Every structure is written in structure tokens, then in C-alpha cells.
Chain A
Amino acid sequence: GESVGLHLPTLSVQEGDNSIINCAYSNSASDYFIWYKQESGKGPQFIIDIRSNMDKRQGQRVTVLLNKTVKHLSLQIAATQPGDSAVYFCAENGASGTYKYIFGTGTRLKVLA
């Protein structure tokens, strides 16, 4: 079946270092991918997205990389700050026309002072 997974449930990084959060997806027909950040007691917040016709997209301190060959998605956070501590989810829209979103289980990012 369709699934979106994350390799590491918890990632600890030193403040100021770069963070990389990984995600594997199984549906090669997915054409839209999203990263969300979820802080304690809040709903998921959109960070960055990418469409399948792109390999890389940059935002402010964040970069998403898409490798369609191995069905892999990553989120890079530059100069990680304490405020980046949260749970991060990747999501895919599944095949076009399914009208569903599929979320990974999440990775908790802990920023160490």
C-alpha cells in the first residue's frame, strides 16, 4: 500500500549546525510533497513544498530535496536554532486524482544549546 515513512524518529543537533530530516515515499505517482512543522500543542505548520518536476527548492534557511529515482525527500535546515525544535512531517498527495494526503509519522528535532 501507499506509505510515507521517516528514517529517524528523533534527531538531536547542536545549535548552529545544519539539520537534515529524511523521508521515504512509496508512491511513484505522487507529484506534490510538503514539509510541516508541529510544535507542542499546535497544529502542523507549512514549511516548504516541492512538485515532482523539481529536484530542489529553497526557502528561508530551509531546503527541500527530492530524489525521484529512490523516492526520497529531505528537509535541510541551516543554522538550526532553538525555535526549530519540533516534530517535522513530510506528506505526499498520492497519485493525482486520489484527493488524499498521506503523512509520515514524524521526526522529532531537538536542538541542543
Chain B
Amino acid sequence: EAQVTQNPRYLITVTGKKLTVTCSQNMNHEYMSWYRQDPGLGLRQIYYSMNVEVTDKGDVPEGYKVSRKEKRNFPLILESPSPNQTSLYFCASSLVQGAEPQHFGDGTRLSIL
């Protein structure tokens, strides 16, 4: 089954404790992206990757890092999480950018205390 898989689905942690949210897709998609979703603000793009070893900032990249060492994986790293990063996070992928719809994971709810 074609899917985007995120882990963990839920995480409660404390300020400053590094964490990684994994994302994996099995569709051989080139384009992958991370979003955060906050009430009243909709989906905002954090980082995206056009292909392996090619990443770039979205609209809200501060406090986040990403890597794309393999085509299927695109982890989101919070080196020193802060309470303002409490949010619902989505990973998405598409074959290419701008001409195909994205497939989304089911989300990761992060709470930073």
C-alpha cells in the first residue's frame, strides 16, 4: 500500500531535549516536505527536499533541521525544542513538486513542556 509513515504519532517531551520525527514513503517520490499545523494558521511549510541531498527552507524553518540521505526518508530534527514548537506535524511526498498532489502522513502531535 502506498503510504507516508510518520513516527512517533504522539510525543510529550521537555524543553531542550533533542528529538527526531521520522518520515518514510514507499512511492519512490522525489519531493518530500514537512508542515506544521496550528489552529487558525493552517498548514505552514517548514522544510522541503527536491531529491536526495537537496533540501531548502520553507516558510517557518527556525528551530528545525532536516536531512535527506535516502530517497525514502526525510527526518525532522528539533535540536533544542521549545514550547512554541508544540504543534501537529505532517510529512508529505509527491513524485515531483508543483504538478502532482502530495500524499500526507497521518501526523505527529508534539507537546513541548
B74 contacts which chain A residues (CB < 8 A)? Answer: none
Per-residue contact bits, chain B 83-113, to A (CB 8 Å; 1 contact, 0 not): 0000000101000011101111111000000
Chain A residues packing against B (C-beta within 8 Å): 31-32, 34, 36, 41-46, 49, 51, 89, 91, 93, 96, 99-106
Bound Cα distance A49, B44 (Å): 19
Bound Cα distance A51, B33 (Å): 21
B12 contacts which chain A residues (CB < 8 A)? Answer: none
CB < 8 Å neighbour of A100 from B41, B45, B103, B106: B45
Q: Are B97 and A93 in contact (CB under 8 A)?
A: yes
Q: A44-B90, A99-B98 are in contact. List 12 more A-B contacts (CB 8 A).
A: A34-B102, A43-B90, A43-B107, A44-B102, A46-B103, A91-B43, A99-B50, A101-B45, A101-B97, A102-B45, A103-B42, A104-B42
Q: Are B42 and A100 in contact (CB under 8 A)?
A: no
Q: Are B101 and A106 in contact (CB under 8 A)?
A: no
Interface size on B, residues (CB 8 A): 27
CB < 8 Å neighbour of B105 from A43, A99, A103: A43
CB < 8 Å neighbour of A106 from B4, B42, B56: B42
9 pairs, CB–CB < 8 Å, chain A vs chain B: A32-B99, A46-B103, A93-B99, A99-B31, A99-B50, A99-B98, A100-B58, A103-B43, A105-B41
Q: Are A46 and B101 in contact (CB under 8 A)?
A: yes
Bound Cα distance A103, B89 (Å): 14
B103 contacts which chain A residues (CB < 8 A)? Answer: 46
Bound Cα distance A93, B98 (Å): 5
A31 contacts which chain B residues (CB < 8 A)? Answer: 98
CB < 8 Å neighbour of B104 from A45, A96, A102, A104: A45
Minimum CB–CB distance for A39 against chain B, Å: 10
Bound Cα distance A32, B97 (Å): 10
